[in-house]
Amino acid sequence: MLDVRSVGHIAKNLGKVVCIHQNESADLAVEKLRNHNVGCLIVVDDSERVAGIISERDIITKALLAGGCGLQDAPVADLMTRQVVSCDMNTPILDALSRMTAKGIRHLPVVEDGVAIGMVSSRDIVSHQLSATKAMQGAAEQVAMLSKSFKSLDYNEVLDLVTREVPSIFGASCGLLLVSQSPGLPVQVVSRNVCRYDALKLGWQGDTSPAAPITISEVPVECCNCKTGPRAVFNLPIYEVGGPDGGVTCGRCAHLCMCMFNSDVVNWRELLSYKATLLREILAVNLMNAKLYEQARKESRTDGLTGVTTRRTLEERLEQEYLRSCRYRHPFCLAMIDVDRFKRVNDTNGHCAGDGTLRTLARALSDNLRKSDVLARFGGDEFVLLMPETSVDEALAVIERMRTAFNLTMPGCGKITFSCGISQWRLDPEDGPTDVVRRADELLYEAKRRGRDRTEVRRET
């Protein structure tokens, strides 16, 4: 059950306790019961210590036994219940209810050092339990609604959704999400909701993975000028797939720092913990799925050997560039690059040496790319370079820079070189992407026939 709060939480909410001295009259007791609209009074002695309790039932019972006469001036001490069962502020609510049930009573004084400081009734506890149940149901509904919001598998969008929506579930209006980009590194602010302070000012020196779903503390000094305390930090583990045994590991933790609470819900620690536990389960799974999707997408768009773009991605970008060039009448060039005598490299030095050759070439090409260029491994030892808004002369200059940067010598093979064919789009919508690729491929083989280690181009008029 959610509610393990102490009696003190209820007693504090009831206001000042209503007491009567044991020497006061029954008439005064009845008057106090009516004026304060309470079911019983705490009876105290001269030292203000609890001597008993008196309720409407006590007065009516004694009046009936006395035939309804002569009780108006009777002292409360003669009518009260003396064997009082009490509790203190730290007594768990369910324990208090058990004591009342065992003794067949409906009211329980809250006592501190023998002095009454409050009163709790079975009605108070039942009402509180109903409120707790309603709060639990409301929390579950809020979390369920949030889970339906995770339509995107984009990792950063999921983080933004956490910052935007989760604070309101906890009753906060301000939030700051901090995440370590790698295990062991300091946390960084990745998303904000109103809050404008950075991680260092908030006192975050490093990344931890606390077991507690949520922690409560005071707002840092740097925030006090415009934020009211306390603050709650929702700790969300970030699971990674691919540990030493290929399983799921938790090496990082996201921290959602929240403040400016719009109700006293921040003082209801068990409800906060309940919400945090529900949220952690859902958010952790969604973040892991988003991360897996991001990794799978990256792997599908990145060549595993060389780290450059894949052929599929190149074809998508080429189609986009073709459509853009058709609209704006801008030229673009495409270069087909192939390692000369690559089979001899493999046959002489082995396939590992061949893989190393491709990685070295990819690095030389990548290091000399312009911002708008797209480099892809097209297949085997062939690479394709898409150069938007580029003339033939500009494309030639780019390729020659790359040729100079590619400096590799292999045993038994000598200096390793590459050949290249450059084609240019004809500024004609009928000249489609496949036509541009075909011409570049033809020019590449022309460069091979003419002795290799050269670039062939065709200037379109």
pLDDT in tens, the chain (461 residues): 344 578 877 765 444 678 889 999 888 988 888 888 877 888 888 888 888 888 887 787 777 666 555 567 788 888 888 767 888 888 888 888 888 888 888 888 888 887 778 888 888 888 888 888 888 888 888 888 888 777 767 888 888 888 888 998 888 888 888 887 666 666 777 788 887 776 555 555 444 445 688 888 777 766 755 556 688 888 888 877 665 565 666 667 888 888 888 766 666 778 888 888 889 888 888 888 888 887 778 778 899 999 999 999 999 999 999 999 999 999 999 999 999 999 999 999 999 999 999 999 999 999 999 999 999 999 999 999 999 999 999 999 999 999 999 999 999 899 999 999 999 999 999 999 999 999 999 999 999 999 999 999 988 76
| Predicted TM-score (pTM) of this structure | 0.58
The region that residue 453 occupies, defined by phi over 0 for left and psi between -120 and 50 for alpha, beta otherwise, is left
Those residues with Cβ within 8 angstroms of residue 295's Cβ, 6 or more apart along the chain or in another chain: 241
What is the model's pLDDT at position 2? 40
What is the model's pLDDT at position 216? 82
Tokens 């008057």 label which residue? Answer: 31
What is the model's pLDDT at position 1? 35
What is the model's pLDDT at position 176? 87
Cα–Cα dist 246/258, whole Å:
35
Determine how many CB atoms are found less than 10 A away from the CB of residue 211: 6
Contact predicate 79/73, CB 8 Å: no
Contact predicate 24/33, CB 8 Å: no
Furthest-apart CA pair in the chain: how many Å?
Answer: 130
Cα–Cα dist 118/309, whole Å:
72
What is the model's pLDDT at position 342? 96
What is the model's pLDDT at position 207? 43
Determine how many CB atoms are found less than 10 A away from the CB of residue 413: 18
Cα–Cα dist 411/150, whole Å:
55
What is the model's pLDDT at position 391? 95
- Domains of the chain, CATH where assigned: 7-127 (3.10.580.10), 149-300 (3.30.450), 311-457 (3.30.70.270)
238-243: list long-range contacts, CB under 8 Å, 24+ apart.
Answer: 238/179, 238/284, 238/287, 238/288, 238/291, 239/284, 239/287, 239/288, 240/288, 240/291, 241/288, 241/291, 241/292, 241/295
Query: Helix or strand or coil: residue 77?
Result: helix
358-373 burial, b if ≥16 CB within 10 A, otherwise e?
bebbbebbbebbeeeb
What is the model's pLDDT at position 208? 47
What is the model's pLDDT at position 3? 44
Contact predicate 203/235, CB 8 Å: no
